[in-house]
């Protein structure tokens, strides 16, 4: 495969879980932009947000995305906010294999409510924050996506199979 497969979508949509399984099925390398940032900085995402703010984190995220664009045989799970920068959206729009994994608000809340590693959800009303982020970001995910897939009530195996079928049909 000449292009990486990028997974975009909100926190809790299953990008990392699906990405690992898809990479294994395709015999590709799996990369997670958040994990790469943590490895390079030696710090976790909440610490980076605390010290550098969201802008500092987004700068690091853009740098990592720039590097991953030219990769081959890779599945890349991106952070939920990667599409907030126009530069990143331009890069992703130019890619032929961008999958938007989405889920209902209820499912996103259920999958993220105990996770203390998500700085944007460390607020009094995490559900309201998820709704706000979803409403803001959903059109941006759709703008860059080649394929949109709802993950609600679907096993990771089902989602991976659906992506594989899409790849086969699209010549990816």
Per-residue pLDDT of the chain (172 residues; tens, 9 = 90+): 678 999 999 988 999 999 999 999 999 999 999 999 999 999 998 889 889 998 999 999 999 999 999 898 999 999 999 999 999 999 999 999 999 999 998 888 886 766 556 555 566 677 888 889 899 999 999 999 999 999 988 999 999 999 999 999 987 7
Given 3-state DSSP classes, what are the helix, strand and coil percentages for the chain, each rounded to the nearest 5?
Answer: 60, 10, 30
Delimit the domains of the chain by residue range: 5-158
| 3-state secondary structure at position 85 | coil
Q: Fold for domain 5-158?
A: Rossmann fold (3.40.50)
Distance from C-alpha of 21 to C-alpha of 157, rounded to nearest angstrom: 8
| 3-state secondary structure at position 27 | coil
């Amino acid at each position: 495969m000449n292009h990486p497969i990028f997974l975009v979508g909100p926190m809790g949509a299953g990008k990392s879980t699906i990405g690992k399984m898809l990479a294994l099925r395709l015999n590709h390398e799996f990369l997670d932009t958040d994990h790469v940032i943590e490895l390079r900085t030696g710090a976790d995402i909440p610490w980076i947000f605390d010290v550098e703010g969201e802008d500092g984190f987004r700068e690091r995220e853009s740098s990592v995305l720039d590097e991953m664009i030219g990769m081959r045989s890779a599945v890349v799970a991106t952070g939920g906010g990667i599409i907030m920068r126009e530069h990143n959206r331009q890069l992703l729009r130019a890619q032929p294999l961008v999958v938007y994994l989405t889920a209902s608000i209820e499912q996103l809340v259920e999958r993220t409510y105990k996770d203390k590693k998500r700085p944007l959800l460390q607020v009094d009303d995490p559900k309201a924050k998820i709704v706000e982020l979803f409403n803001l970001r959903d059109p941006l995910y759709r703008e860059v996506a080649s394929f949109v897939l709802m993950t609600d009530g679907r096993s990771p195996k089902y989602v991976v199979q659906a992506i594989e079928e899409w790849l086969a049909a699209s010549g990816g």
